[in-house]
Every structure is written in C-alpha cells, then in structure tokens.
Amino acid sequence: MSQYQDLHGKVAVITGAGRKDGLGEAMAKRLASEGCKVIITDIGHGEGEYMPESAVGTRSQMQQIVDEIIAAGGDAKAFNCNVLNPEEVQAAVRFAVSEYGRLDIWVNNAGIGYLMKPILEMSVDEWDMVLNVNLRGVFLGIKYASEQMVKQGHGGKIINIGSQASKSAFAHASAYTTSKHGMNGLTRVAAQELGVENINVNQICPNHVTTGLGAWQNSHFSEVTGKGYDKYMQDMRDRIPLGRPGLQEDIAKACAFLCSEQASYITGECMNVSGGEEYH
C-alpha cells in the first residue's frame, strides 16, 4: 500500500540506478511502489580505466531492475545516460517527457566511490574523474531537470545523494570527500534559486551502506587501516548509536519522504540518514 498518495503518477528519473543491490535500485523500487513512473538510468557499459564494467550499471542489470519493478506492478523503463555528458543528461530528460509526458522528480545518485587513495598517490586524472562525476554530474542533472520543471510550471523535487563524507573528512578519500562537501553548497544554492519555481532541492547524506560498492569499501578500508575486516566492521557498529550500518531501504525511505508533499516545506537540507553517527 502506498504511503504517499500524492506520488501516484509522478515521473521520476534516478541516475546511477542500474547496479543490483545499489542505492539507486532501492530508491527506484520504493518510488515505483508509491505509484511513480520510474526511469532507471546508468552508463550501461564500462568505459575505460576509471569506469570498469564492475563499477557501472550494465544494460542487462538495468533491464533486470526494470523487469522486477514491472513484475511487482510498477511502471519503469531503462535509459543509458553518462552524467558527464550534457547531451546525454538532456536526452534523459527528453526521454522521460516523451514516454510519460512530464518530469516531476530527479534523483542525482550517480557517483564514483571506488577511487580511494592518499593525496600523495592520487593522480590528477583520478581526482578529475571523481570531481566530474560526483559534482559536475549533479550540476548537469539539476540544470536540465529544473529547466524542464520550470517549463512545465508545476514545480518538482530534486534529490542529491551525498554521504557522511559531505559533512566529515576521511583519510584516503580526498577527492570523494571534496566532491561530497561541494554537493552541500550546490544543493543549498539550487534550493535558493529554484524555490521561486516551487522546486525543492534536498540532499540525503547516508553513512556506510553495504551495497556492492560498500562491500568493496569495507574490504579496502579494513586493509588500509590495518584493522582486519572483522575489527573494522565491529568498530563501525560500535560508533553508530543505533548499532548498525545503513541499509539501502533506509535511504529509499528518506528519498520517498523528500519527494512527497509531506516534505513540501523542506528545501536546501542536507539530511543525515546515519543511525546517529553523523550529527553535523
């Protein structure tokens, strides 16, 4: 049963939503369960050194998520979109309008969280790739989604997916932390500029969630900290007041709320969903 009746019939695009067990999949399925018509976007195939096949949503994964949404009674379609490319982001907006006649919700979820190195070891190309995907990609999503929403004249919701790294610094994650901190400012400026158009712009800041990417991060940081996997995970649980890392569903619930009219007077917020770990 839908919790937010006002979401029924709304059209939502979620970027970076093509990886199984990812945040994008969870948000897409939750919005579809609320009656949204959902467009799953991702690159669709690996591209070069910094976007290997294992780090992107492939076309087959995207279609699998779409099929699962449809099997559950929802409405969804897949569309290839590299958020680094302005033309592809614009094309995703046009696809939503051509398929469903409108665009109501845009979720900037695409990001790179696997280029984690100390500053002294990180190349300029790696730095640029993380900043471009995690920040330029969000800018392009805000820009072209809001253009369509303004044209339609009935407002809209834009949700940016940040991180605990939007609020706190983490060693070995300089580019990632910088990009997520930058997203805070972009979210707040967009909220100020677009409020007059009745467009709400908010950000969700999860702590660690063990997605496919999250599992890699667990292994990576347990190694670089020298703690070992079990100690690293126990330390994580110990510092979270609610005693566990986040789940995909925790972020999906927050996304559905912010997309609903229950959050109509909330904009410019960078909302922690962290079990009490992050309070800034």
CA distances from 260 to 6, 10, 18, 70, 263 (A): 7, 10, 23, 22, 6
Domain ranges in the chain with CATH number 3.40.50.720: 5-209+248-266
List 51's β-bridge partners, or say none.
47
Q: Confirm whether pTM is higher than 0.85.
A: yes
Looking at residue 44, the DSSP 8-state letter turns out to be: B
Q: Quick one: which H or E segment has residue 110?
A: none
Catalytic residue among 4, 50, 100, 176: 176
Q: Quick one: which H or E segment has residue 262?
A: none
pLDDT of 185-195, one tens digit each? Answer: 999 999 999 99
Residue 246 pLDDT class (50, 70, 90 cuts): very high
pLDDT mean over 254-259: 98
**DSSP letter for each residue of 46-103:** -BTTTB-GGGS-BHHHHHHHHHHHHHTT-EEEEEE--TT-HHHHHHHHHHHHHHHS--
Name the residue with tokens 């665009």.
103
Residue 52 pLDDT class (50, 70, 90 cuts): low
pLDDT mean over 11-17: 98
pLDDT score at 236? 87
Residue 38: phi, psi to the nearest 5? -115, 135
pLDDT mean over 211-223: 72
CA distances from 86 to 6, 38, 52, 142, 270 (A): 31, 21, 21, 11, 25
Residue 36 confidence (pLDDT) above 70: yes
Residue 94 pLDDT class (50, 70, 90 cuts): very high
% of the chain residues with pLDDT over 70: 95
Of 8-17, 188-197, 215-224, the poorest mean pLDDT is in 215-224
Of 60-69, 109-118, 169-178, 229-238, the poorest mean pLDDT is in 229-238
The verdict on whether 20 is a catalytic residue reads no
The verdict on whether 180 is a catalytic residue reads yes
Closest CA to 62 of 103, 87, 92: 92
pLDDT score at 46? 75
Buried b (16+ CB within 10 A) or exposed e, 200-210: bbbbbbbbbbb
* Averaged confidence pLDDT in the chain: 93
Residue 212 pLDDT class (50, 70, 90 cuts): low
Residue 107 confidence (pLDDT) above 80: yes
Residue 230 confidence (pLDDT) above 70: yes
pLDDT score at 210? 72
Catalytic residue among 180, 227, 232, 279: 180
Residue 205 CA to residue 102 CA, distance in Å, equals 28
pLDDT score at 243? 94
Residue 47 confidence (pLDDT) above 80: no
Residue 10 confidence (pLDDT) above 90: yes
pLDDT score at 226? 84
pLDDT of 153-206, one tens digit each? Answer: 999 999 999 999 999 999 999 999 999 999 999 999 999 999 999 999 999 999
Q: Which fold has domain 5-209+248-266?
A: Rossmann fold (3.40.50)
pLDDT score at 190? 99
% of the chain residues with pLDDT over 90: 81
What secondary structure, in 3-state letters, does 117-173 show? CCHHHCCHHHHHHHHHHHHHHHHHHHHHHHHHHHHHCCCEEEEEECCHHHCCCCCCC
Closest CA to 217 of 164, 144, 158, 150: 164
